Amino acid sequence: MWRAFTARRIAAAAAYGGGGITALGGITFGLVVMEARLARKIIQATPNADPPVADGLYGESLDGSPLSLVMIGDSTAAGLGVHDPEETPAALLASGLSAIADRPVRLTNVARPGSRSHALPEQVGQALQVRPDMAVIMIGANDVTGRVPAAESVRHLADAVGRLRASGCHVVVGTCPDLGSVKPLMQPLKWIARRASRQLAAAQTIAVVEHGGRSVSLGDLLGHEFAADPRSMFSEDRYHPSARGYAAASAAVLPSMAHALGLEPDMPDPLLGEGVLPVYLAAAEAAEVSGTEVSGASVAGRDRGPRGRWATLLRRRSVPDITPAAPDVA
């Protein structure tokens, strides 16, 4: 009962833009601002070059017409922090999807470092030009650090998912990562960042499922790994993921892409407590549980119940190994 109450409170606060960094005042707020400026100076002291370009055709030797995959979002989707195109999440997902589908995949990445959710309309417009079969969106970290209200962030994300789905494109969203794991952050900023990240992730999940997409929780999955082994999971700037970090995130997202395209069945495991829940409960659970996917569901032929939209919660026992493969750039 307590967990259900907590889930409702977190998801409701996120959906309506409550809580997070914006709910501070007085001395506490001043302390957080000072710590945030210090953390930003530490991060920016090791500048990154532009992310490597990984666009191209993956699995060219395979038969069949290419699937069109687009990456949308911020620096995480763009692959900032690594130097080899093969190490970017876009390349890892394209090569992994090609292997699962046994057909070529043409990758187009329109993500840009520093993007907040308000950049999604323009990026989606660019993505639709290549008629994508699958879109992966990673967004939210810059909204949290920029103190953008969750309601404003998810409005842009909802519109983006809706436009892509209306075109026939499947959508998987990697929700806001756990910023509390970022090494330069100190308390209480670390706690505040974690809370704001999870609230935004819950709100994103609700918006994504309501508009026909699937969400995958990256925050909890990567938070523990990044916190336990920051030297190998973070890049040189101690903010963006390293090659190993991107591989972990990509391995969590890839199964949801395969399920969305019908390449693998959705098979909830009742022993792990998966099943159909109201979307607000599923969203709050996903924000706290490693590698959890949330997608729309129906019960007795109805998409909605007395407590709102139905959603399926899927937890992965393990994530697949993704072996990078260089594209045949066209």
Task: Show which residues are catalytic.
Answer: 75, 237, 240
Give, for 277, the enclosing helix (H) or strand (E): strand 275-278
Instruction: State the Cα–Cα distance between residues 181 and 222, nearest whole angstrom.
Output: 9
Give, for 208, the enclosing helix (H) or strand (E): helix 189-210
For residue 106, which phi and psi values (nearest 5 degrees)? -100, 120
DSSP-derived letter for residue 263 is: S
Burial (Cβ within 10 Å: 0-12, 13-18, ≥19) of residue 65: exposed
Residue type, 186: M
Instruction: Tell me the residue ranges of DSSP E strands in 163-241.
Output: 170-174, 214-216
Residue type, 290: S
Length of the chain: 330
Instruction: State the Cα–Cα distance between residues 25 and 226, nearest whole angstrom.
Output: 30
Q: Is the CA virtual torsion 177, 170, 204, 122 positive or negative?
A: positive
